[in-house]
Structure 1
Amino acid sequence: MTTHPRVGAVVLSRYSSSRLPGKALMPLGGRPLLGFVLERLTHALPLDDIVVATSVESSDDPIAAFCRRQSVACYRGDLHDVAGRFAGAARTAGFDFATRINGDNAFVDIPTLRQMIAIAKDDHLDFLSNVDGRTFPVGMSIEILRTAFYIRHLNHLTRPEHLEHVTLALYQRPHLGRRLYLYNTHHPEAAGLHLAIDELSDLIFARTLVARMQAPHTHYDLARLLQLIDPPPYLSDDTEGSLASP
């Protein structure tokens, strides 16, 4: 009997966002933003394979309390060492592969996530990403890392920016690990679109999209989301500033 490696998701979330404090629990579609993200992920993974990684700071107690109410696993680590927090959550949960999801990415593309999880389960790669080239909208980033590979890599990280940006050093060292990059070839007009919730205007935009939905938000993949945007992305010239770091 063939056993596949365990692939789980680590959702990075903190309450003390500098640009939009408390956004993790601000309402979107009738539930807190973090709950919206978790609901979306459960259409690709069982809830038992999802962990929220927040900090040990008292400011993040509301996130831990939310996780307890929702029966979601919560790992708490250093606020500033996000890389260590991600690795600690993956190791503690027993994930062979950990999917990095940002807690402000409300519209992760479920079909792409399912596809990447299936590839990871083949157990041939160390790193999968749809971030290279930014062909997907900002806010649809998915990265899957072999936990043992990432922990070995973590031992060599010392620069603050590498600890804050979980995978930055891997993009700067393309020779490390067996990797695969996935690109959005079906909807190239989506490149440069900003769907991450960084500021209040992003949250208002997300609420506008959800209000236009005529079915549950989990039914909306990239193609259907693009249909909700007016004007469509390919008619917009304002993409300046949309290429955020991974």
Structure 2
Amino acid sequence: MKILAIIQARMGSTRLPGKILKEVNGKPLLLYQLERVKKSKLIDKIVIATTTNKNDDLIVSFCEQYNVDYYRGSEEDVLARYYEASQQFGGEVIVRLTSDCPIIDPSIIDKTIKYYIDNLPYYDYVSNTIERTYPRGLDTEVFSEKALEKAYLEAILERDREHVTAYMYSNPQNFNIGFISCNQNFGKYRWTVDTIEDFQLIELILKKLYKENHIFSMNDVINILDKNPEWMQLNIHIEQKKL
């Protein structure tokens, strides 16, 4: 059973354009994320799914520089982009990741995948985001290739085409939905990068933790924030964009 991780990535963020290639210590955020995703013990292949927009030539250059597979598809119809990427690279199980999560924890990725696999063939879709108990920025969704195809063929709403899994979790009558929760509620933490304030927080975290341990954990980040509570004030006011 091949497990394919697809990371959606584009330069055209509305709130912080080019955010995924912004650098900390001379290293792009996307490279930090890839380094961490590659530490997954369960993922067989990683693909960057970017767009045909000329601005995203920079992402293609990044992929070629670091020998990462990529697929180029629609900017607006991200569901089609995912489905087409899965068809090109193959995978019975798809792991959806987004490129604004540079400090994602590979152990949590694997925990989500394992829960999906351990419950085969029951669940079509498993996520650690349905109940927000993990920090935002550790988001992992796992689903079958068949579920992705079903969504691709059936989803009509613009929202469901733009947000890859919205059709799945919005239609529990058609998909068996599973979720995992953290043993403590850390949902107040925001470690995704969508604004300059988000970037400033991630920059502090990376500069503090990366030299000691390249693959630092969720708990390592929580510990450093407990010691530096003022860091959280940087982006505490930022609201996640609604679907």
Structures share fold, TM-score greater than 0.5: yes
3-state SS of paired residue (1:134): coil
Asked if the contact 1:226/1:232 (under 8 Å) is kept, the reply is: no
1:245 & 1:44 partners in 2: Cα distance? 29
Whether 1:113 and 2:112 are equivalent positions in the alignment is no
2:57 & 2:42 partners in 1: Cα distance? 24
Whether 1:6 and 2:2 are equivalent positions in the alignment is yes
Paired letter, 2:104: V
Per-residue CA distance 1:183-206 (angstroms, 9 max, x = gap)? 112x32x21211110011111110
Choose the corresponding residue for 1:215, options 212, 217, 223. Answer: 212
1:141 & 1:245 partners in 2: Cα distance? 16
Choose the corresponding residue for 1:204, options 197, 200, 205. Answer: 200
Asked if the contact 1:29/1:36 (under 8 Å) is kept, the reply is: no
1:85 & 1:74 partners in 2: Cα distance? 11
Whether 1:78 and 2:74 are equivalent positions in the alignment is yes
Q: Post-superposition shift, 1:12?
A: 0.5
Moved more, 164-173 or 126-135: 164-173
1:216 & 1:243 partners in 2: Cα distance? 29
3-state SS of paired residue (1:132): coil
Asked if the contact 2:5/2:96 (under 8 Å) is kept, the reply is: yes
Choose the corresponding residue for 2:57, options 61, 75, 92. Answer: 61
1:152 & 1:47 partners in 2: Cα distance? 23
Runs of 5+ consecutive residues of structure 1 not aligned to the other structure: none
3-state SS of paired residue (1:155): helix
Q: Post-superposition shift, 1:176?
A: 2.5
2:45 & 2:195 partners in 1: Cα distance? 29
- Relative to structure 1, the CA distance from residue 46 to residue 75 in structure 2 (aligned partners, 3 Å threshold; closer, same or farther) is farther
**Aligned-CA RMSD value:** 2.3
Equivalent in the alignment of 2:176? 178
Whether 1:161 and 2:168 are equivalent positions in the alignment is no
- Relative to structure 1, the CA distance from residue 29 to residue 110 in structure 2 (aligned partners, 3 Å threshold; closer, same or farther) is farther
Asked if the contact 1:8/1:45 (under 8 Å) is kept, the reply is: no
Q: Post-superposition shift, 1:69?
A: 1.2
Moved more, 98-107 or 153-162: 153-162
- Relative to structure 1, the CA distance from residue 120 to residue 93 in structure 2 (aligned partners, 3 Å threshold; closer, same or farther) is farther
Equivalent in the alignment of 1:130? 128
Equivalent in the alignment of 1:16? 12
1:225 & 1:40 partners in 2: Cα distance? 14
2:157 & 2:14 partners in 1: Cα distance? 21
3-state SS of paired residue (2:107): helix
Per-residue CA distance 1:86-114 (angstroms, 9 max, x = gap)? 11112211011111100011121221111
Per-residue CA distance 1:29-80 (angstroms, 9 max, x = gap)? 5421111111110000588600000001111001011101111100000001
Whether 1:151 and 2:149 are equivalent positions in the alignment is yes
Whether 1:88 and 2:74 are equivalent positions in the alignment is no
Asked if the contact 1:138/1:243 (under 8 Å) is kept, the reply is: no
2:153 & 2:134 partners in 1: Cα distance? 30
1:101 & 1:169 partners in 2: Cα distance? 17
Q: Post-superposition shift, 1:11?
A: 0.5
Whether 1:193 and 2:195 are equivalent positions in the alignment is no
Paired letter, 1:149: A
